[in-house]
Copies of this chain bind each other. A is one copy, B any other.
Amino acid sequence: MSIDLEALYIDLHRHPELSFQETRTAGVIARELGVLGLEVVEGLGKTGVASAIRNGDGPVVWLRADMDALPVEEQTALAYASTARGIDPAGTDVPVMHACGHDMHVTAMLGALERLLATKDEWSGTVVAVFQPAEEYGAGAQAMIADGVLDRFPKPDIVLGQHLTPLPAGTIGVRPGTQMAASDGLTVRLLGRGGHGSRPHATIDPVVMAAATVMRLQTIVSREIDPREMAVVTVGAIHAGLKNNIIPAEATLELSLRYPDDDARADVMARVERVVRAEAQASGATEEPVISTLHSLPPTINDGDATARLVAAWERAFGEGSVVDPGMFTGSEDVSWFAREAGVPLVYWFWGGVDPERFADAYARGAINEEIPTNHSPFFAPVLHPTIERGVDALVVAAREFLA
């Protein structure tokens, strides 16, 4: 009597929850774990859940799935599209969508646990399943660690995790070494002086200050980073003003920065701060901008040997050509914290969710970027099959590779 994974996925997709608000999701997970007869610890890192299959002596393998959704208004037109809304940290009512596939992560994890349980006689050791909240804030892993997840379960010998991505369904993407970038999220408050929209000379216009800052920040990547190196300076949000005829007193920028390693992080951060402060001076601001860090994510670095073992195991299981090197991703993850904190290897891989024919067709026309919705897009919509099955299998094969 197995879990109906398709129904489970659709239910999760219909009920996305913002970071650290995944209470319903945690409830669904806990219920399924209970049905499987597994131990359940809830409330780790506010809304996180963890469980374990303890199956005699042997290695301890941690599997991690994240479970939060995003403030995106779904536009997929799917029958099961989300119409959910939530309250973001600023108190704003926003649409919510599983635009990054974490619903699929949870689904595959539960499927894998059921399979591993059903095949307990084929392996020994311990599998720890971590359902992590707030990956999108880059804060959930550390919150679970702060709540003692590493003490309450057997320490890992290896940490494994997977992420849905716009590769063809059936394909796994992984590479040894840096798999995902380091990243920081910054908030920049630019302080001007407000006043009437008809009297700009009596104000210090923070909208113009913000616009000039955004334009100048572009030059960090375009002129100051070695063209062969990876760096991203995204201004993901800009907000100032409530009314056309009032010049507001301040503007807020939200930045997402990406780099391959910690040296580049320090370098880019210094450049961002230099630009922000100078542009405030160019505006004649009388108060310094306030720069604060929202989150800081390490690079996701795959252990070389462990990755090689997994690639071989998957190719055996899924056939030649089923595993590709997707290159380094410029996105970031907080999964590393579990492995870093425990001082053990990590392998983090991607698996595809795009209809293979659609992918091949777009690829042939050089239209991948235009036609295949990426993670965080309002159109992000994995095909259900074989995405679910491959997600389950990839986890099971990987866990079994490191279990006795």
Contacts and interface: CB of A to CB of B under 8 A. Distances in A.
- Interface of chain A: mostly helix, strand, loop or mixed: mixed
A186 interface: yes
A195 B376 contact: yes
Interface in A234-266: 234-249, 251, 254-256, 258
A182 to B, nearest CB: 11
A118 interface: no
A233 to B, nearest CB: 7
Contacts of A237: 207, 240-244, 248
Contacts of A377: 194-196
Contact of A331 (B70, B196, B205): B196
Contact of A214 (B208, B235, B369, B374): B208
A50 interface: no
Contact of A222 (B197, B221, B255, B278): B221
Q: Count copies of this chain in the complex.
A: 4
Given A218-B218, A237-B244, A246-B70, A223 B205 contact: yes
A165 B332 CA distance: 35
Interface in A65-103: 70-72, 88, 91-94
Contacts of A258: 197-198, 227
A256 B251 contact: no
Interface stretch (A7-15, A279-287, A301-309, A311-319): A279-287
Interface stretch (A26-34, A147-155, A322-330, A342-350): A322-330
Contact of A242 (B94, B208, B221): B94
A183 interface: yes
A197 B277 CA distance: 23
7 contacts: A136-B243, A196-B374, A198-B330, A199-B331, A227-B330, A236-B243, A239-B241
